[in-house]
Amino acid sequence: MASGRAPRLADAAEIAAEQGLTPARINGLHNERAKNADGVPFPASIGARGRARLWDHAEVTDWFAHRKTAEPRPTPPSFDPGKLLNAAEASRFLGYKNSNQVTTYVRDHPGYFAKPDVVEEQGTEENPYHRRLWRAQTLLDWQASRPGRGRRATANRPSPLPDVSADGDPNELLGASQAAALLGFKNLNSFSSSLAQGNLPLLKETDGVAENAGRQTGRRRWTRRRILEQAAQRKR
């Protein structure tokens, strides 16, 4: 029997804040429904609050998830993980057209965006202000597990990485989560992002794939030796 619970509704402003777009772009996606995401239309609005359209929040979130899987947001081909970026540079690094997007997140949505790695006190005693800076890797970690994705956030929360010892057979084949742990990443998503960006060149070549491993069959594998060599290179 279908649940009678009403869906959570969201307007263009709320959806835009979650997806890093503008309210005008959300309304534009609605108006261009027949052209969206390889023929998969943007969800139709199901009501209005005053003159603002309202959408089923879960349907819109699922649509964006499908779109980002089919058309991944481009990110820089290479970067220095430790490079410090100000708010405008962080906005461009994350692919936002609006260079003030990160500033908007910090100002209007406290706790939503990643905490800055460095806060510099600038200005004068009469007119002080803070200059916030984020490391590139901090931004990618946030992008990989960003909050505000409705019911998918809990389902897609990154799993903890396994405990993996650097000691052991150097020729043992290890999977992505084990490699991420040995390389010091916080989660598998941040490892995958860094690998895709070409920042782990020694892992571009694999040493094998998983066989007869159920759902893991066909997954990439690297030797412990190769992973540790990459870890040593990252520390230089």
Q: In this predicted model, what pLDDT tens digit does every residue of 136-157 receive, in sequence order?
A: 888 888 888 765 544 434 344 4
Q: What's the confidence (pLDDT) of residue 158?
A: 53
178's enclosing H/E stretch is helix 176-182
Maximum C-alpha span of the chain: 68
pLDDT at 6 over 80: no
Looking at residue 134, its pLDDT comes to 93
Helix (H, G, I), strand (E, B) or coil at 34: helix
Q: Pick from 34-48, 56-70, 82-96, 189-203 the range whose average pLDDT is largest.
A: 82-96
Residue 9, classified by CB atoms within 10 Å of its CB into exposed (0-12), middle (13-18) or buried (19+), is middle
- Under the banding of pLDDT at 50, 70 and 90, the label for residue 38 is low
Question: Residue 81 corresponds to which tokens in the numbers above?
Answer: 């993980």
Report how far apart, in Å, the C-alpha atoms of 191 and of each of 59, 147, 168 are.
29, 18, 22
Domain boundaries, the chain: 9-70, 84-155, 173-235
pLDDT at 178 over 50: yes
pLDDT 10s digits, 55-110: 888 888 888 777 665 554 444 445 678 889 998 888 888 888 888 888 888 887 77
